[in-house]
Amino acid sequence: MVTSKLLNAPRSRAAAEPLLPVPVATPPAQRLLSLDAFRGITIAGMLLVNNAGNWGHVYWPLEHAEWNGWTPTDLIFPFFLFIVGVAMTFSLGTLRERGASRRQLIRKVGSRAAIIFALGLVLNGFPSYDLMHLRVLGVLQRIAVSYLLAAGVVLATGLRGQVTALLGLLLGYWALMILVPVPGAGAGVLEPAKNLSNWIDLRIIGVNHTWRQTRTWDPEGILSTMGAIATVLCGVLAGHWIRSRRPALEKTVGLFLAGNLGLVLGVIWNAPFPINKSIWTSAYVTFTAGMACHGLAMTYWVVDVKGYRRWATPFLVFGTNSIAAYWLSSLVAIALTRIQVAGPAAGEAWTLKTYLERTLYESWLSPINASLAYAVTYVCVWLALLSVLYRKRIFIKV
């Protein structure tokens, strides 16, 4: 599974996302390096969990929870959306300070969201582009829609309005999923293919355009996007806090306290509305936002406050070209599963990915360690490729 690493990049580089190829000779001077590093950690994790060498042999922390509950992998996507929200406060705030009008900001947000959505469609259709079975939604599409609608809230309201919108999304989504009856299942059913979110996806998107693994529901569905927008708004509120003029220690402690609050709310809410990535429940939003606050607080304190930056260089490489890292690596990963090569037996055909994993690693490692080694290698290869852009100060952005 967006990210994608995926998103905005204000000229301050304080928090944004790179998208389409525009060489930049030198990055702007002002920059929240901790946010780039935190984004880079998230993108590296995304590449790791998305590129197992053998999906039949994967360590459990690198897999999603089957339905309710969570694993470390289930933190990656909400972390990225949270970062999108933090970045938004820097990018839109900087543009406002430079005199940009609301119309200019809306145009910029709209064009960026459209490009990200289109990149997601290109990725979903590659390489055959069968429009009759093209998945409409996906990681990049969720990023685009959540970014667009959350930015609309930010541009239309102040801090109080943003808090109100966040609470409305969390409580409103909870109420819809619990109280609205689903034909043939009733109200409050949260099982796969029987809950309101999945029912709406099948009626609006259609079975031929949902996630191909099930064709009965989509993990980036329409109604569950309410939860994803809420995750972005959690990041927006964190961004306001970290962009304020408060002392660095107060910012760090505040983020930790907010993280504790999110974790407690998530655990309490888990009973009536379980933590669940596939339908992005309100408990999942608060719980993962709490985790993200802790992650940002630690990264901010270490990188921006204490100045320990050398360790973060590999993550800055990913974080400053996050969309490029996610999109290009995903495109190549798909290609590796489509290219056929001769297997060891006569007449046997393997995909190029299978050939590489078995030849390089399964010949001397156990299947599960070979699968992990392939994934780690894939991350390292993209780190090396993107390091070239980073050293040349080229950032691919919208």
Instruction: Quote the distance between the C-alpha of residue 325 and its chain's center.
Output: 12
How high is the pLDDT of residue 130?
Answer: 83
How high is the pLDDT of residue 213?
Answer: 60
CA distance 208 to 190: 22
How high is the pLDDT of residue 214?
Answer: 61
- CA nearest to 300, candidates 236, 239, 391, 386: 239
Q: Where are the alpha helices (DSSP H) in the chain?
A: 33-50, 76-97, 102-125, 139-156, 159-179, 196-204, 225-243, 248-269, 282-299, 313-319, 322-338, 352-357, 367-391
- Considering only CA atoms, give the Rg of the chain: 21
How high is the pLDDT of residue 108?
Answer: 95
How high is the pLDDT of residue 208?
Answer: 77
Write out the chain's pLDDT in tens, 398 residues: 333 333 333 333 333 333 333 333 333 335 689 999 999 999 999 999 999 999 999 999 999 999 999 999 999 999 999 999 999 999 999 999 999 999 999 999 999 999 999 999 999 999 888 888 888 999 999 999 999 999 999 999 999 999 999 999 999 999 999 999 999 899 999 998 889 999 998 888 887 777 766 667 788 999 999 999 999 999 999 999 999 999 999 999 999 999 999 999 999 999 999 999 999 999 999 999 999 999 999 999 999 999 999 999 999 999 999 999 999 999 999 999 999 998 777 778 899 999 999 999 999 999 999 999 999 999 999 999 999 999 999 998 86
How high is the pLDDT of residue 128?
Answer: 87
Residues 6+ apart with CB under 8 A from 163: 237
Cis peptide before 3, with omega less than 30 degrees from 0? yes
Instruction: Quote the distance between the C-alpha of residue 301 and its chain's center.
Output: 23
End-to-end CA distance of the chain: 21
The reported pTM is 0.90
How high is the pLDDT of residue 39?
Answer: 97
How high is the pLDDT of residue 347?
Answer: 73
